[in-house]
Amino acid sequence: MTETAGAETRSGALGQAQYWLAVIFVAGWSGVICGGLGFQFVNWEYPCPLCMLQRYFMMLAALGGAYIVRKGMNGTIAPRDYAVGWGLAIVACFGGGFTAWRQTMLHIPPGDPGYMGAVFGLHLYVWAWILFAAAITTIGVVLSFSYLTATTAIPDVPHRMAGKFAIGFLALVIVVNFVATFLLEGFHAKLPDDPACYQFFHDIGVLKDGCVLPVAH
């Protein structure tokens, strides 16, 4: 009871740091995924299975932040809610970081052009590796000062309004990615290693040629 009461008094900017980090976490990862979707739909570059796996780890990490934000919409966040949300986010970032590292190592030999386009000289999977590592580090730093940064009382305005926007943004991104994955896979069990089309349109007969079919194992 005393611990909760003490936490509620930390209602200033520092005390609300973890809640706002959760909001930024949700919106930030959603924005990063939108960048990947931009490459996919604007540049007509098709993500490979490792690319898609990194996206889903990003979604899982964002869902960790969304867990905290959702609890805050009730007006209070218990310390265990922060722990659950950040625990999920760290596990997701570790998985995503390993996946991004694996893809980076696949294209690290001299002369390898890499997969898909680059941003500021680095391919998207390299940026993903950096962002996953940065996210884990940021969470660790904030949690090191959790007694000062984890207020249990969350004001209605603008905190909960921002939280609703972030969660809505994430929900839209998740839906778009599930649709994009289905269009890429079509009626097959897995993505090809190097996709060259939206397989769904070939499966229904709209397109007839120029597509790499998934290889059966």
Say yes or no: 97 and 152 in one domain.
Answer: yes
Evaluate whether 4 touches 143 at the Cβ level (below 8 Å). no
pLDDT (0 to 100) of residue 118: 80
On whether residue 1 sits in a domain, the answer given is no
Write out the residue range of the structural domain in which residue 194 sits.
189-217
Say yes or no: 201 and 172 in one domain.
Answer: no
User: Tokens 């590592």 sit at which residue?
Assistant: 133
| The two three-digit tokens of residue 72, written as one number | 């805050």
Query: Cis omega before residue 47 (within 30°)?
Result: no
Three-class secondary structure of residue 76 per DSSP: strand
Say yes or no: 152 and 194 in one domain.
Answer: no
Q: What is the pTM of this model?
A: 0.85
Say yes or no: 94 and 61 in one domain.
Answer: yes
Instruction: Write the pLDDT tens digit of every residue in 101-143.
Output: 999 999 888 888 888 778 888 899 999 999 999 999 999 999 9
Instruction: Write the pLDDT tens digit of every residue in 190-216.
Output: 887 888 788 888 888 776 665 654 443
Question: Could you tell me which residues come within 8 angstroms of residue 80 by beta carbon, excluding any fewer than 6 positions away?
Answer: none
Q: How many domains does the chain have?
A: 2
Say yes or no: 30 and 108 in one domain.
Answer: yes
On whether residue 3 sits in a domain, the answer given is no
Evaluate whether 126 touches 176 at the Cβ level (below 8 Å). no
